[in-house]
Amino acid sequence: MRFLFSICLLSTAIAHAAPVSFSKQIAPILADQCLECHRAEKAKGSYRLDSFEQLLKAGDSEEPPIAAGKPDMSELYELIAATDDSDRMPKKADALPEKDVALIRQWIAEGAKFDGPDPKTALTNLLNQRRPQAPEKYPCSIPVTAMALNGDGKVLVTSGYHEVLLWDPDSGRLRDRIGDMPERVLGLSFIKGGPWLAVAGGTPGRSGEVWLVNLEKTSERKRLAQIRDCALCAVTTPDGSMLITGGADNRVRAFALPDGKPLWNIEAHADWVLALAISPDGQHAATASRDRTARVVNVKDGTLEGTFTGHSVPVLSIAFEPEDKELISGGSDGEVRRWRLDGEGIKDSTIRPAGRTEILALGFLDAQTPVAATGMGLVSSMLVKERKTKDKLVRHDDRVNVMVLTGEGEGRRLITASHDGQVRVTQVADVREVLKFVASPGW
């Protein structure tokens, strides 16, 4: 009897189970796995699914993508469930997880119902409505994975959880918080000093996003890209005319500013693009990749200008020297290497500022004095010709993920941020710490 009673309860629960939700369950799968190739700007096979309305319209095949109640007569389901790699969607990528395929089949079998506010609503806007809010106070300090300083040096922005945090760099006081951002913010760059800010990030392994946000009126924002995996870095040209991003989908993208129109999109590497840099003259972009190479591309059209293969480990950081003639790149083995724009390495120029630990960020105090931030928490300036450390500028208790140089001459300052959430401001001239704070609300 007890067994029969349990079966009855299970049957009742199944009978009353909530139907599959398009906005909460199906839309995220489509956005993560399909939207990159089937949106207004890039509709492969003339098929779009950037809104529910578009999802129902046939592409070049003229077959119905969705036949309500009939998954086996729905082309979308047939393609994602196909076992032959040449037929299966998504192309040139892993098959969807079986649970996702089963969920889409169930949704179609239940009638392929739409439960959002308007079938014309962009898929990305449906996802925005689901974003969790950042906590009022963080239960622990969070890693600083991205940081940028605005043009007048009055606003320092750092990464948060589904938010960007705005700080006063003179006092460490929290000025504002911008919510409804990607889960992880991994790249920040001001457009010509502000007020527009580029934000790159996403949810690891699921999706990436690139945004423009107006800090003076944060309701003014636009999503420039939704991609298959996290956008990891973002830089802008000095004249503010272009934004360039790189990510875990191995691609580098360029957008015109201020409208955000896509300009070019290249598969620059065979693995993640971990760091980017723009030459001071704004003509070249440099990329650092987990595939152990670094490259220079033409900003105008994305054409390759040089490939540096001198690293034998993942390349984590990159910077142009101030006169545009050379670059430095840092690897996971603690080596900083110098090379020219055409990819030719400079003989006997390798610098090891802090032993065999990751070089996570690079910059220049002047043409002959690079600065390296490392995985052991040390930030040092280096002498190029002597190939040795000049000054130990900052010591963090954890890996230093990002740094920003600001000011000139005696007023030159170095702002560094680490994995334990600490932000430190150092006066470079006398190597003096002038401020330290934790970049997590409530700490």
Tell me the per-residue pLDDT of 159-175, one tens digit each, with 9 for 90 and over: 999 999 999 999 999 99
Which helix (H) or strand (E) segment holds residue 174: the answer is strand 174-178
Per mean pLDDT, which range of 87-91, 210-214, 389-393 is the poorest? 87-91
DSSP state of 127: H
pLDDT category, 289, cuts 50, 70, 90?
very high
Whether the full predicted model's pTM is greater than 0.85, yes or no, is no
How many C-beta atoms surround the C-beta of residue 118 within 10 A? Answer: 12
176-196 tens-digit pLDDT:
999 999 999 999 999 999 999
Residue (of 76, 84, 126, 127) closest to 101 by Cα position: 76
Strand ranges of the sheet holding 326-331, from the earlier edge strand across to the other edge? 315-320, 326-331, 336-340
User: What are the Cα distances from residue 122, in Å, to 22, 207, 237, 348, 394?
Assistant: 13, 16, 30, 54, 46
Distance CA 264, CA 302 (A): 7
Counted residue by residue, the chain has a size of: 443
Question: What average pLDDT does range 282-289 have in this prediction?
Answer: 98
pLDDT category, 412, cuts 50, 70, 90?
very high
Q: Which residue has the higher pLDDT, 247 or 27?
A: 247
Distance CA 415, CA 149 (A): 9
Q: What pLDDT score does 10 carry?
A: 41
Q: What pLDDT score does 359 carry?
A: 98
> Which domains are seen in the chain, by residue range?
19-128 (no CATH), 147-438 (2.130.10.10)
Distance CA 424, CA 438 (A): 9
Largest CA distance in the chain: 86
pLDDT category, 1, cuts 50, 70, 90?
very low
**Could you give the count of Cα atoms lying within 13 Å of 296 in the half-sphere of its Cβ?**
22
Residue 173: alpha-carbon gap to chain centroid = 26
pLDDT category, 12, cuts 50, 70, 90?
very low
User: What are the Cα distances from residue 29, in Å, to 96, 313, 415?
Assistant: 9, 34, 39
Q: Which residue has the higher pLDDT, 119 or 3?
A: 119
Q: What pLDDT score does 130 carry?
A: 60
Evaluate whether 319 touches 327 at the Cβ level (below 8 Å): yes
Q: What pLDDT score does 248 carry?
A: 95
pLDDT category, 435, cuts 50, 70, 90?
very high
DSSP codes joined into one string, 217-252: STT-EEEEEEESS-EEEEEE-TTSSEEEEEETTSEE
Q: What pLDDT score does 127 carry?
A: 66
Instruction: Report residue 407 as tokens.
Output: 């000011």
How many C-beta atoms surround the C-beta of residue 111 within 10 A? Answer: 12
Virtual CA dihedral for 195, 196, 197, 198, nearest 10 degrees? -170
DSSP state of 92: T
Backbone angles phi, psi at 168, to 5 degrees: -85, 115
Q: What pLDDT score does 121 carry?
A: 82
pLDDT category, 87, cuts 50, 70, 90?
confident
Q: Any residues with CB less than 8 A from the CB of 331 and at least 6 apart, and which?
A: 311, 312, 313, 314, 315, 316, 337, 358, 359
Evaluate whether 323 touches 302 at the Cβ level (below 8 Å): no
